Homo-oligomer: A and B are copies of this chain.
């Protein structure tokens, strides 16, 4: 069920990310070109810098505006800076535009903590959601899965985990076109009696809930693709995500060590490099172009600090899709009668 929206406006935090504003502007321009101005982009950031950046690109006829914001949240700022010391930052100004309905979505490759906290506090939570969540996409032998929570919430209560399952199911169904996505509870054994207290109680909630719950899944089941949506506390999820992200670098170091032992191996090593790169790319977070903050009154997408123009473009296209598909309305409807 898509809503006809003639004029979607997407706020782009032009100052966010390690290669801002260059990569951000390049990706956004590409998104506008590719879609023939299907939406409007509101670049938020230092006006003069952005004008110069846009002048270098050929942007005639593209539908964008620049909204000035004097401050930038940098990686050393606390997550609360956008709400306190730097209210004129691109993140605060951009999120406020969205809050005031002057835009329909917000994307940023900047400070994740700041984007999460402004999303939650400026946009507000969807009624019935205790804690908004950020997920992570994991590649699997079957395709892809969404793990929630990836670090936004530690010490979760069972009903929070249930909310993650519900939101993850709706997101996966609508955005990945997976009919009735499976939900697995990350645990240390298959039986319902396994795990810590929170896991056991969550099992009971999920069992009688409005999701396609397939029971507990173990660490080994994630990459096998046993569930479309993997639910866990943000403490476990964050450790797992960062571990997974470190695997490619570990393999590179190990392979280098192995292939440098003699010449024939060196030859194989050279041949391997390109192949390995392609295989490992699928384990790389930024390929999916950002993750949504689920559970807030709006569409807010967080990208990797090292986002390429392509990743930025994908984030913008995902934001547009989330708006068109009314993801939040689906979440609201699913929450009715749940609690």
* Residues on A facing B (Cβ under 8 Å): 139-141, 151, 154-155, 186-188, 195-197, 199, 218-224, 232-236, 238-247, 249-251, 253-255, 258-259, 265, 268-269, 271-272, 275-276, 278-279, 282
- Contact status of A239 and B275, CB under 8 A, knowing A246-B222, A253-B141: no
A-B contact pairs, 11 of them (CB 8 A): A187-B239, A218-B238, A219-B238, A219-B240, A219-B246, A240-B243, A254-B282, A255-B275, A259-B275, A268-B272, A272-B272
- Flag if B199 contacts A250 (CB, 8 Å): no
What 6 pairs between A and B have smallest CB-CB spacing?
A: A219-B242, A219-B243, A223-B250, A220-B246, A219-B239, A220-B242
- Flag if A220 contacts B245 (CB, 8 Å): yes
Q: Which residue of B lies closest to A241 (CB)?
A: B219
- With a cutoff of 8 Å between Cβ atoms, the chain B residues found around residue A275 in the complex are 255, 258-259, 265, 268-269, 272
Residue among A155, A195, A239, A275 with the highest chain B CB neighbour number at 10 A = A239
- Flag if A239 contacts B242 (CB, 8 Å): no
CA distance A197 to B241 in the complex (A): 21
CA distance A164 to B223 in the complex (A): 29
Chain B: minimal CB distance from A136 (Å):
11
Apart from A196-B235, A258-B275, 18 more pairs, CB < 8 Å? A139-B254, A141-B249, A151-B188, A155-B197, A188-B235, A188-B239, A199-B235, A219-B243, A220-B242, A220-B245, A222-B243, A224-B250, A236-B236, A236-B239, A240-B243, A265-B275, A272-B275, A272-B276
- With a cutoff of 8 Å between Cβ atoms, the chain B residues found around residue A241 in the complex are 219
CA distance A246 to B268 in the complex (A): 25
- Flag if A141 contacts B250 (CB, 8 Å): yes
CA distance A251 to B187 in the complex (A): 23
- Flag if B235 contacts A223 (CB, 8 Å): no
CA distance A210 to B160 in the complex (A): 38
- With a cutoff of 8 Å between Cβ atoms, the chain B residues found around residue A196 in the complex are 154-155, 233, 235
- With a cutoff of 8 Å between Cβ atoms, the chain B residues found around residue A243 in the complex are 219-220, 222-223, 240, 243-244
CA distance A31 to B297 in the complex (A): 65
Q: Which residue of B lies closest to A268 (CB)?
A: B271
- Contact status of A195 and B235, CB under 8 A, knowing A240-B219, A251-B279: yes
CA distance A253 to B253 in the complex (A): 21
- Flag if A246 contacts B272 (CB, 8 Å): no
CA distance A197 to B219 in the complex (A): 23
CA distance A278 to B238 in the complex (A): 29
Chain B: minimal CB distance from A131 (Å):
14
- Flag if B242 contacts A218 (CB, 8 Å): yes
- With a cutoff of 8 Å between Cβ atoms, the chain B residues found around residue A232 in the complex are 239
Chain B: minimal CB distance from A107 (Å):
24
CA distance A254 to B248 in the complex (A): 13
- Flag if B247 contacts A223 (CB, 8 Å): yes
- Flag if A154 contacts B195 (CB, 8 Å): yes
Chain B: minimal CB distance from A263 (Å):
14
CA distance A258 to B199 in the complex (A): 37
- With a cutoff of 8 Å between Cβ atoms, the chain B residues found around residue A240 in the complex are 219, 239-240, 243
- Contact status of A238 and B188, CB under 8 A, knowing A154-B195, A220-B246, A244-B243: yes
